[in-house]
């Protein structure tokens, strides 16, 4: 998925394409994380925030990456993607 040169630029370009594709397929990530937070809140019987959902998904991907000796590029892209979304929603929450 990352270009053959495996550069920072290539990684970030791949991430940008993935985030764009996911947004087109699933809608805004803030809305998805809010929906997941609402569902997890019911399941876990405590309030879960969208930020906590993003952090948990990052942790899940880190566990999967560790299981693959830190060699799975898709997991690295997923971690970066969730971090980008987390940054976006926390920036929005802190500005308003």
- Does any domain span residue 28? yes
- Does any domain span residue 3? no
- Does any domain span residue 1? no
pLDDT, tens digit, 9 for 90 and up, residues 28-86: 999 999 999 999 999 999 999 999 999 999 999 999 999 988 888 899 999 999 999 99
CA–CA separation, 3 and 47 (whole Å): 40
Q: Half-sphere exposure (CA, 13 Å, Cβ side) for 43? A: 7
Asked if residue 62 lies in contact with residue 41, where contact means CB atoms within 8 angstroms, the answer is no
**Domain count of the chain?**
1
**Residue 72 is encoded by which pair of tokens?**
């799975």
pTM: 0.83
- Does any domain span residue 77? yes
pLDDT of residue 92: 74
- Does any domain span residue 16? yes
- The residue segments making up the domain with residue 36 are 8-95
CB atoms within 10 A of CB 49: 15
- Does any domain span residue 82? yes
- Does any domain span residue 61? yes
pLDDT of residue 91: 87
- CB burial of residue 85 (10 Å; 0-12, 13-18, 19+): buried
- Does any domain span residue 2? no
């Amino acid at each position: 998925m990352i270009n053959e040169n495996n550069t920072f630029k290539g990684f970030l370009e791949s991430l940008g394409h993935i985030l764009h594709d996911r947004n087109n397929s699933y809608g805004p990530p803030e809305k998805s994380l809010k929906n997941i937070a609402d569902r997890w809140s019911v399941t876990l019987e405590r309030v879960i925030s969208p930020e906590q959902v993003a952090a948990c998904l990052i942790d899940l991907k880190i566990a999967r990456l560790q299981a693959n000796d830190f060699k799975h590029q898709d997991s690295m892209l997923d971690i970066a993607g969730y971090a980008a979304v987390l940054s976006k929603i926390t920036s929005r929450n802190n500005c308003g």
